[in-house]
């Protein structure tokens, strides 16, 4: 074996789990390369000291500069290093940070604007086999008062992965930080360069420093630059509450001198108008929703956190080569990480060219649920086959990085086998059936027995009811039961996943103005050959009566099954004499007094439609408030031809609060007083997705 001896140190990061056990994200330094393409060198452990030496396949690594290696080494756990690298633009901006650049960091669960003060070397110096880590020393910026807060407790050193945004620098003096290599001290040895004089001029105000005007204006421009008509913005109102809305108008109103914005708020506020200000109309919206304020009072909607508008093209091919580990299924983002990992602009699946039916369906199916992961293990596709494209480029990427670019979705769309799916608007149910049946060859999710005949397979269930069969504001539970009973249907077995289509016709007409999406669906009484309780006394039921269903004395709308005794008694009554109760098929040898086990399924996503555009709500964990809202085309950057869509994920715990109420409260709630999210969930639902819980 011949070695290519090279004096130059070559740093790398491991992007694929290697045969000899190096985990993804490990950082190392190679000092030689074999003819066979193996790198010989060592890998750094915690603290930057050499942990192990050996060989690693070059194709399992990605090259780094020394500076990148030092920055990434301070990031832990190692898996976060790869995540950061996937965000190509952000990472290169972090590598180029200079003193006094403005950044946003995640600190104590909050997002904080900060100024870069120093780059800090951490680790022992001048010791062979040690690579010093690099961290950032930052100063907090108080955006309310344009001051630098000098906290009594010094801030910790931040790693590159703590930085979530880098503001474009307009400052005059940019001193590159990376020349500041200096001494090493004891345990947490640090070295730093001196702060700039401007930042040292302490103001009389205790504990704070007045920002120089350059910094102030940078913060100002960061806050306002991206605001234009159509932007989502927030305003702190006089009573201190933050209100959210869309900017509908910008200009100088009559009688004012500076630039004002007219916002259409998400919610009504009694002092607001319908688009008039003073005596003049500037735009038109619903009453009590138009708010006029100086433009400088508006900030970009903080619910879409800190991903700058001006990202040109979000991802470059680098990430594709980094993340093509095919043999693993990335688990869904953990509940406690969703808010930091998924919320914001440029999150989720990026929409493109009529793709919302598809983005929304994929997001709903895969963000939090693993019910469909089995489709990957059963498919025997080639590496570039469609199921692998779906798994690697969409599902794994969505869960690992929180963002799937439109290109990946387009590549997938083009492989769907039917040309119209790549270009035209479709319905989610069409797509689901095509995906599961013809592309992934999965057996039907539902086996439904009709009128006692043999069971038929289906992938979704379309609710079919008469309007007068259910309440004015029905729940999915009622709708499903009624749909099954009135058509004499039964589930042959408990489905692993149940996709229910709401009663609507086409895109416009909906049968019910509001539907309550039941968070738990009890299918015990619509299961074939399953033990059921008598509707009246709770003993094992042996008869079912369809005609009793709407009996106004017996809880109209509830399914009625009776034990032998109750069946006789109920049908003695003159009004029910004509009924023809059916004998139920029940399992043999049922113990008399065993309680009937309820079969329940849990809601994990709701697809909604409004004016031909699909969006979705996803429940991302067991906490009742763990709800997010996704729109693949929430905003657009640039013009129709050269621009791109901005997908947005919002947190909406209020949806969970609403759904925690009783059905009675939900059905009588005044949606005009509810948040926009609750209104959309209640009024626009198109499809509810349930999964089995163990
Ligand atoms: Zn009974
Ligand atoms: Zn009856």
Q: What percent of the chain has pLDDT over 70?
A: 78
Report whether 4 contacts 38 (CB < 8 A): no
Instruction: Report the range of poorest mean pLDDT among 227-231, 420-424, 654-658.
Output: 227-231
Query: Residue 529 Cα, ligand 1 centroid: separation in angstroms?
Result: 18
**d(Cα 24, Cα 6) in Å, to the nearest integer?**
25
pLDDT of residue 322: 37
3-state secondary structure of 412: helix
Task: Give the ligand whose atoms come closest to the C-alpha of residue 535.
Answer: 1
The secondary structure element, H or E, covering residue 555 is none
pLDDT of residue 527: 92
Distance CA 317, CA 334 (A): 27
How much is the pLDDT for 617? 98
Give the integer Cα–Cα distance in Å for 524 and 528: 9
DSSP 404: E
Residue 561 CA to ligand 1 center (angstroms) comes to 8
Of all ligands present, the nearest one to the C-alpha of 539 is 1
- From 165, 167, 168, select the one nearest 306 (Cα to Cα): 165
80-128 pLDDT, tens per residue?
A: 888 787 767 678 888 888 877 778 787 776 777 788 888 888 776 656 6
pTM for the structure as a whole: 0.58
Q: How confident is the model over 504-551, as pLDDT tens digits?
A: 876 678 899 999 999 999 999 999 988 999 999 988 899 999 889 888
Residue 149 pLDDT > 60, yes or no? no
**Which residues of the chain does CATH 2.30.30.190 include?**
231-300
Tens digit of pLDDT for each residue in 28-83?
888 888 887 788 888 887 666 777 777 888 877 888 888 889 899 999 888 788 87
CA 76 to chain centre: 23
For the structural domain made of 330-521+599-693, what CATH number should be given? Answer: 3.90.70.10
Distance CA 301, CA 246 (A): 9
**Distance, CA 477 to ligand 2 centroid (Å)?**
21
> How far does the centroid of ligand 1 lie from the alpha carbon of residue 11, in Å?
76
Given a cut of 80, whether residue 688 has pLDDT beyond it is: yes
Written in H, E and C, the secondary structure of 638-690 is: CCCCCCEEEEEEEECHHHHHHHCCCHHHHHHCCHHHCCHHHHHHHHCEEEEEE
Contact 691, 494 (CB under 8 A): no
Answer for the pair 275, 285: CB distance below 8 angstroms, yes or no.
Answer: yes
Do the beta carbons of residue 514 and residue 682 sit within 8 Å?
yes
For domain 231-300, give the CATH number: 2.30.30.190
CA of 587 to the centre of ligand 1 (A): 18
- Model confidence at 284: pLDDT above 60: yes
CA distances from 482 to 225, 361, 407, 465, 584 (A): 54, 26, 43, 7, 18
**DSSP-derived 3-state class of residue 509:** strand
Residues forming CATH 3.90.70.10 domain(s) in the chain: 330-521+599-693
**Ligand found nearest the CA of 532:** 1
Catalytic center residues: 356, 613
Measured distance between the N- and C-terminal CA atoms of the chain, rounded to whole angstroms: 55
Ligand 2 center–CA 478 separation, angstroms: 19
Contact 59, 51 (CB under 8 A): no
Encode pLDDT of 177-233 as tens digits. 443 333 232 223 344 433 222 223 333 333 333 334 444 444 444 444 467 777 778
Considering every ligand atom, which ligand is closest to the CA of 578? Answer: 2
């Amino acid at each position: 074996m011949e070695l290519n001896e090279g004096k130059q140190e070559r740093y790398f990061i491991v992007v694929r789990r290697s045969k000899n056990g190096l985990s993804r994200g490990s950082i190392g330094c190679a000092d030689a390369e074999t003819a066979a393409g193996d790198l010989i060198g060592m890998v750094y452990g915690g603290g930057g000291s050499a942990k192990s030496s050996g060989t690693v396949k070059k194709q399992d690594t990605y090259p780094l500069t020394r500076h990148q290696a030092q920055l990434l080494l301070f990031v832990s756990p190692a898996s976060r290093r790869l995540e950061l690298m996937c965000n190509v633009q952000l990472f290169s901006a972090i590598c180029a940070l200079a003193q006094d650049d403005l950044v946003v960091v995640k600190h104590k669960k909050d997002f904080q604007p900060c100024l870069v003060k120093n780059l800090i070397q951490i680790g022992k110096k001048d010791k062979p086999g040690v690579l010093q880590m690099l961290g950032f020393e930052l100063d907090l910026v108080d955006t309310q008062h344009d001051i630098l807060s000098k906290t009594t407790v010094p801030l910790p050193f931040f790693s590159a992965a703590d930085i979530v945004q880098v503001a474009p620098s307009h400052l005059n003096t940019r001193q590159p930080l990376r020349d500041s290599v200096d001494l090493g001290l004891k345990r947490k040895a640090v070295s730093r360069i001196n702060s700039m004089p401007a930042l040292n001029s302490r103001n009389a105000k205790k504990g704070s420093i007045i920002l120089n005007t350059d910094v102030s204006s940078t913060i100002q421009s960061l806050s306002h630059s991206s605001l234009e008509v159509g932007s989502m913005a927030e305003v702190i109102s006089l009573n201190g509450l933050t209100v959210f809305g869309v900017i509908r108008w910008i200009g100088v109103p009559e009688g004012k001198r500076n630039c004002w914005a007219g916002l259409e708020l998400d919610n009504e506020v009694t002092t607001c108008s319908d688009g008039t200000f003073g005596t003049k109309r500037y735009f038109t919206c619903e009453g009590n929703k138009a708010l006029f304020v100086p433009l400088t009072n508006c900030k970009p909607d903080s619910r879409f956190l800190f991903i700058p508008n001006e990202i040109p093209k979000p991802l470059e091919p680098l990430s594709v080569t980094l993340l093509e580990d095919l043999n693993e299924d990335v688990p869904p983002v953990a509940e406690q990480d969703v808010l930091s990992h998924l919320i914001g602009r440029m999150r989720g699946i990026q929409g493109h060219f009529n793709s919302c039916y598809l983005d929304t369906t994929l997001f709903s199916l895969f963000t939090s649920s693993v019910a469909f992961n089995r489709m990957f293990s059963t498919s025997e596709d080639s590496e570039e086959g469609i199921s692998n494209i779906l798994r690697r480029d969409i599902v794994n990427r969505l869960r690992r990085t929180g963002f799937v670019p439109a290109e990946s979705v387009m590549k997938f769309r083009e492989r769907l086998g039917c040309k119209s799916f790549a270009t035209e608007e479709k319905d989610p149910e069409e797509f689901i059936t095509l995906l599961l049946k013809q592309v992934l060859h999965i057996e039907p999710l539902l086996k439904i027995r009709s009128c006692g005949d043999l069971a038929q397979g289906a992938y979704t269930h379309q609710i079919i009811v008469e309007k007068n069969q259910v309440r004015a504001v029905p729940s999915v539970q009622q709708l499903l039961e009624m749909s099954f009973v009135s058509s004499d249907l039964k589930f042959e077995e408990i489905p692993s996943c149940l996709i229910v289509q709401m009663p609507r016709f086409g895109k416009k007409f909906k049968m019910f103005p509001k539907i309550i999406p039941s968070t738990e669906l009890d299918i015990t009484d619509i299961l074939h050959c399953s033990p059921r309780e008598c509707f009246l006394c709770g003993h094992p039921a042996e008869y079912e009566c369809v005609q009793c269903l709407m009996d106004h004395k017996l809880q109209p709308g509830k399914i009625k099954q009776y034990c032998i005794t109750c069946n006789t008694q109920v049908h003695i009554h003159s009004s029910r004499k004509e009924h023809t109760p059916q004998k139920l098929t029940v399992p043999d040898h049922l113990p008399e007094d065993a309680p009937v086990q309820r079969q329940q399924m849990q809601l994990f996503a709701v697809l909604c439609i409004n004016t031909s555009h699909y969006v979705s709500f996803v429940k991302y964990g067991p906490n009742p408030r763990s709800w997010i809202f996704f729109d693949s085309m929430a905003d657009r950057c640039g013009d129709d031809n050269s621009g791109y869509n901005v997908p947005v994920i919002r947190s909406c715990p209020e949806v969970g609060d609403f759904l925690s109420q009783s059905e009675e409260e939900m059905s009588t709630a005044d949606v005009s007083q509810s948040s926009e999210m609750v209104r959309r969930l209640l009024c626009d639902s198109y499809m509810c997705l349930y999964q089995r819980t163990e």
